[in-house]
Structure 1
């Protein structure tokens, strides 16, 4: 009898201690996992995301954000009543995303006019002179596929035109590699066009392209290029060649 009681007491003590030992073991195992420093987490774009602020649209859609003094001449359309067909000396700027001329009429009052309603707008430029912008729809051929404005850099028998435009470069952030940018960005483009009799075609500046374009005065243009050595990749250089051609 005494032996049976001793056996029961031993079994009771052993089973009572097991949960405590198990708890201590599990706690240590958990601690070991937390302290494990060689764990490698695979970059998986479908599973993980990178914490941080969301991307935004940076930059601006304006040819020049600064309000510049300008003169605006409107197309008068049938059925539209205006007290004047022009405005002089008003603050203006060009929005290339909406193809509008913005006119500042007061401290907080801004009017917007579509390019198709504009005959021209003259604006002070960063070159210390005045730039004239007209609707691309004043020209034909390749201009018919465009929107917005042409800057008339040189006018004459052969017009030199510049077409400013804007597009949005999409964010290219790579979650897996943690590279790139989360931000979309406005990007500006300045394309050259030439026009004869209002028929515009895109133009890539270069000596060969110029000589083909000005074939009727090829000898004179070759002599001018050799003597003056204008930079055909620059605005001033192209302007000089077209001014010379139109005066011959």
Structure 2
């Protein structure tokens, strides 16, 4: 019930009406997976997309995290009021299906389809993480799905998540191989500047290639901090340093 009331609370945070209460109709709609009252507002659904015969690592983080969501546009709820934000909800992102799953209450999962999703934030062990629809950051890109915004500024660093699919290779004659489709997570780093994106290697050479105007300062930072650029935290640190100097 805790997660259900968190979701109800989030939906009350409507534009210009922070203290407004949900109507009984809205509460019933949320409880039945029909929390938004028209087809055009079909954000919440009764269950996630089924992925039969697919096994693997679907989630950026398989653990549920408390977070907040920003939608592409305000959506109408029961009562006629609109909001483009949800807060205090429990979420996780499915890379394969490109859906943000919302835990309404125990064993009751809804999803926000990617077409409605602009961005969302979570707190992982107290550390804030910001994710965004990649098309909201790079409108003309052919990339799909969600990216994590590691650093923002003159050079915005993002980590783009994507599924890597291995098809079944089962051989019934010999009884060998895999019957299921295997999904593994893959990711690439991109730098966004002046509305354009560039894929980079997570290495000293790759980083310095996009930071040429502050090359000496960045090299000194890497040496002094003994940064190995082996993790997202290392990359975030050097890009934060560049963007603040």
TM over 0.5: yes
- Indicate the residue corresponding to 1:111 in structure 2: 110
More strand by percentage? 2
How far apart are the structure 1 equivalents of 2:206 and 2:194? 19
How far apart are the structure 1 equivalents of 2:74 and 2:120? 17
Equivalenced residues, count: 192
Question: Structure 1-normalised TM-score?
Answer: 0.68
- Indicate the residue corresponding to 1:24 in structure 2: none
* Match of residue 161, structure 1, among 133, 158, 163: 158
How far apart are the structure 1 equivalents of 2:147 and 2:184? 18
In the TM superposition, residue 153 of structure 1 has moved relative to its aligned partner by: 0.8
SS in structure 2 of the partner of residue 105 of structure 1: strand
- Indicate the residue corresponding to 1:208 in structure 2: 205
In the TM superposition, residue 78 of structure 1 has moved relative to its aligned partner by: 8.5
- Indicate the residue corresponding to 2:131 in structure 1: 133
**1:210-225 maps to which residues of 2 (within 5 A)?**
210-225=207-222
- Indicate the residue corresponding to 1:242 in structure 2: 239
In the TM superposition, residue 92 of structure 1 has moved relative to its aligned partner by: 0.7
Unaligned runs of 5+ in 2: 1-51
Distance 1:79 1:124, change over 3 A: closer
Q: Deviation per CA, 1:197-219, whole angstroms, max 9, x where unpaired? A: 33222111112221110011011
Unaligned runs of 5+ in 1: 1-54
Q: Deviation per CA, 1:158-193, whole angstroms, max 9, x where unpaired? A: 111011122321223455666543332111112111
- Does the CA-based 8 Å contact 2:75-2:83 persist in structure 1? no
Question: Structure 2-normalised TM-score?
Answer: 0.69
- Indicate the residue corresponding to 1:23 in structure 2: none
